[in-house]
């Protein structure tokens, strides 16, 4: 069994397209880390995705580091996901993501765009996916969701890259998974300043950032 750690980045979609596309966001980047049975990284992938309706505004570009040049000639979602599956090959994989937002976005975007490829539909089978943020929260009895940056600090892991880059976030999520799966008795650094500081920089995922908006899921 292999493990695929995924992170998706999204841009916003104008309400002008609500008659064609009822969701508020579109995927613009897929970042992935493939782990072996021992949770050691085997390979990484970074796939940009051209949105059909969304616009990469200055805010999202600044946050993610993604530019219009990177997405305007990128494949559309169906081709991008097929490329991901080709990259995985015939490996049997469980999929991990930090929060359930990425799974829901991928599932509903596939449905909304009428993608019916059987390989893609099998890939979004919910039985394959694990919300590792929920696993982390339950393991350490948090009563609210812990952001990726906070989780790294609690686990004493130095982050790679910058937050809100799909590949970097996937790499950092994989670091947490490896550490916790290899050390079932690991105790996090419990420090109040890590969670809930009013002065701390933005540490949420894009999905968490959008959670307060009117996102419609069927």
The Cβ of residue 26 has, within 10 Å, a number of other Cβ atoms equal to 25
* Predicted local confidence at residue 22, as pLDDT: 85
Residue 34 has pLDDT above 70, yes or no: yes
* Predicted local confidence at residue 195, as pLDDT: 63
* Predicted local confidence at residue 88, as pLDDT: 97
What pLDDT band is residue 50 in, cutting at 50, 70 and 90? Answer: very high
Q: Is residue 24 situated within a structural domain?
A: yes
Q: Is residue 110 situated within a structural domain?
A: yes
Which structural domain range is residue 152 located in?
Answer: 2-212
Least confident of 18-22, 100-104, 193-197, 213-217: 213-217
Residue 105 has pLDDT above 70, yes or no: yes
Number of structural domains (the chain) is: 1
Residue 151: φ, ψ to 5°? -60, -40
| Residue 76's CATH number | 3.30.420.10
Q: Which residue, among 43, 58, 78, 45, has the nearest Cα to 11 in the 3D structure?
A: 58
DSSP reduced 3-state for 104: helix
Summarize pLDDT for 136-146 with one digit per residue, the tens: 999 999 999 99
Summarize pLDDT for 147-167 with one digit per residue, the tens: 999 999 999 999 999 999 999
Q: Which residues contact 203 (CB under 8 A, 6 or more apart)?
A: 147, 148, 149, 150, 163
Q: Is residue 217 situated within a structural domain?
A: no
Mean pLDDT of the chain: 89
Token pair for 163? 């937050």
Residue 190 has pLDDT above 50, yes or no: yes
Residue 22 or 169, more confident? 169
Q: Is residue 218 situated within a structural domain?
A: no
CA distances from 207 to 73, 115, 117, 135 (A): 24, 22, 26, 17
What percentage of residues in the chain have a pLDDT greater than 70? 87
Q: Is residue 81 situated within a structural domain?
A: yes
Residue 206 has pLDDT above 70, yes or no: no
What pLDDT band is residue 215 in, cutting at 50, 70 and 90? Answer: very low
* Distance, CA of 56 to CA of 52 (rounded, Å): 11
Q: Is residue 65 situated within a structural domain?
A: yes
Q: For the whole model, what pTM was predicted?
A: 0.87
Cα 34 from chain centre = 14
Pairing mode, strands 25-35 and 2-12: antiparallel
Q: Is residue 40 situated within a structural domain?
A: yes
Summarize pLDDT for 163-178 with one digit per residue, the tens: 999 999 999 999 999 9
Q: Is residue 60 situated within a structural domain?
A: yes
* Distance, CA of 15 to CA of 35 (rounded, Å): 39
Residue 211 has pLDDT above 70, yes or no: no
């Amino acid at each position: 069994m292999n493990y695929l750690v995924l992170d998706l980045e999204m841009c916003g979609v104008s309400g002008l397209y609500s008659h064609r596309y009822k969701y508020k966001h579109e995927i613009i980047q897929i970042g992935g880390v493939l782990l072996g049975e021992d949770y050691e990284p085997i390979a990484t992938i970074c796939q940009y995705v051209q949105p059909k309706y969304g616009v990469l505004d200055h805010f999202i570009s600044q946050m993610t580091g993604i530019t219009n040049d990177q997405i305007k000639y990128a494949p559309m979602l169906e081709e991008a996901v097929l490329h991901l599956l080709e990259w995985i090959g015939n490996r049997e994989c469980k999929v991990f993501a930090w929060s359930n937002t990425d799974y829901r976005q991928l599932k509903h975007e596939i449905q909304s765009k009428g993608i019916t490829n059987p390989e893609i539909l099998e890939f979004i089978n919910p039985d394959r996916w694990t919300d590792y943020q929920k696993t982390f929260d339950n393991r350490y009895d948090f009563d609210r969701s812990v952001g990726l940056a906070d989780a790294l600090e609690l686990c004493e892991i130095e982050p790679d890259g910058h937050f809100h880059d799909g590949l970097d976030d996937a790499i950092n999520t994989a670091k947490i998974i490896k550490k916790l799966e290899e050390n079932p008795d690991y105790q996090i650094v419990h420090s109040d300043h890590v969670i809930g500081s009013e002065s701390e920089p933005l540490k949420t995922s894009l999905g968490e950032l959008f959670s307060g908006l009117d996102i419609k899921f069927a």
